[in-house]
């Protein structure tokens, strides 16, 4: 009886050993730590960068000195003067915006000159300082490589203080700048600017300036 039981166990063991490999119970394989649990997500496309109304990253300041020439209504000789320009591009108004090429910009200017009127010696306050405050748009025709060429126009307020027979008021201005780039952030420019006031008064201010890009 015992011999029969051992023969039965031996036959069962040989039968299990003869099963195909695919039918055997496989042990659980450990997961590779380097293998990600979840598949990687596709990178999202970067959001389109919105254009600012005024691009202050390309702000420029141009201090300049020179001389002013006056129309006959001022009754004064040419006199020294100066100006300070601030300029920044306006991407919204520039369909093919390129800070190194053609684009529309915004400018502000403060200018001053002296006036010494040829009036009777009995008149008080014949001389003084006139100042002009302008705001408008400009168009950069050329800002590549060596050359700089800009045209501008806008509104102005002329302030004459207490100079005899000159009334402060609003007008408009037209001007241009032409020059050369002397380094990456510095340029040398010549700027003639016309200031048109009331009653046919006209001032032409010529300045030589240093353009500084921040």
The Cα 145–Cα 197 span in angstroms is 37
Q: How far apart are CA 64 and CA 78, in angstroms?
A: 17
Count CB-CB contacts under 10 A for residue 139.
16
Q: What are phi and psi of 95, to 5 degrees?
A: -55, -40
Does residue 47 lie within any of the structural domains? no
Are 103 and 94 in contact by the 8 Å Cβ rule? The answer is yes
Q: Is residue 13 part of a domain?
A: no
- Looking at the chain, how many residues does it have? 214
CA atoms within 13 A on the CB side of 94: 25
Domain assignment present for residue 110? The answer is: yes
Q: Give start and end residues of each alpha helix (H) in the chain.
A: 2-17
Sort strands 169-181 and 186-196 into parallel, antiparallel or unpaired.
antiparallel
Structural domain of residue 154, as residue ranges? 56-213
195 lies in a domain?
Answer: yes
- CATH number of the CATH domain containing 107: 2.40.160.20
- Which residues touch 24 (CB under 8 Å, ≥6 apart)? none
Interval 7-33: pLDDT, tens: 555 555 555 555 455 444 455 555 555
Regions in the chain scoring below 50 on pLDDT: 3, 19, 22-25, 47-48, 101
54 secondary structure, DSSP code: S
The count of structural domains within the chain is: 1
| Cα 177–chain centre separation | 18
Q: What is the pLDDT of residue 84?
A: 97
CA distance 45 to 21: 49
DSSP 92: G
Q: How far apart are CA 10 and CA 109, in angstroms?
A: 107
Q: Is residue 161 part of a domain?
A: yes
pLDDT at residue 48 in the model: 46
Q: What pLDDT is attached to residue 58?
A: 82
Domain for residue 104, yes or no?
Answer: yes
- Could you give the CA distance from residue 160 to residue 114 in angstroms, rounded to a whole number? 10
* 16 occurs within a structural domain: no
In a domain, 43, yes or no: no
């Amino acid at each position: 009886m015992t011999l029969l039981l051992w023969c039965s166990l031996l036959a069962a063991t040989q039968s299990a050993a003869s099963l195909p490999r695919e039918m055997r119970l496989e042990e659980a394989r450990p997961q590779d730590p380097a293998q990600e649990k979840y598949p990687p997500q596709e990178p999202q496309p970067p959001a389109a960068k919105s254009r600012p109304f005024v691009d202050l990253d390309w702000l420029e300041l141009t201090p300049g000195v020179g001389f002013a020439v006056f129309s006959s209504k001022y009754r004064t000789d040419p006199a020294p003067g100066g100006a300070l320009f601030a300029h920044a591009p306006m991407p919204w108004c520039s369909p093919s915006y390129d800070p190194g090429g053609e684009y529309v910009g915004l400018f502000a200017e403060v200018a001053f000159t002296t006036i010494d009127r040829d009036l009777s010696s009995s008149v008080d306050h014949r001389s003084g300082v006139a100042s002009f405050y302008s705001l408008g748009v400009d168009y950069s025709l050329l800002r590549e490589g060596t050359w700089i060429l800009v045209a501008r126009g806008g509104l102005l307020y002329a302030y004459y203080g207490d100079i005899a027979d000159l009334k402060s008021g609003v007008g408009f201005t037209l001007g241009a700048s032409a020059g050369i780039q002397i380094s990456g952030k510095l340029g040398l420019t010549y700027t003639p600017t016309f200031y048109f006031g009331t009653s046919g008064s006209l001032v032409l201010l010529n300045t030589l300036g240093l353009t500084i890009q921040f």
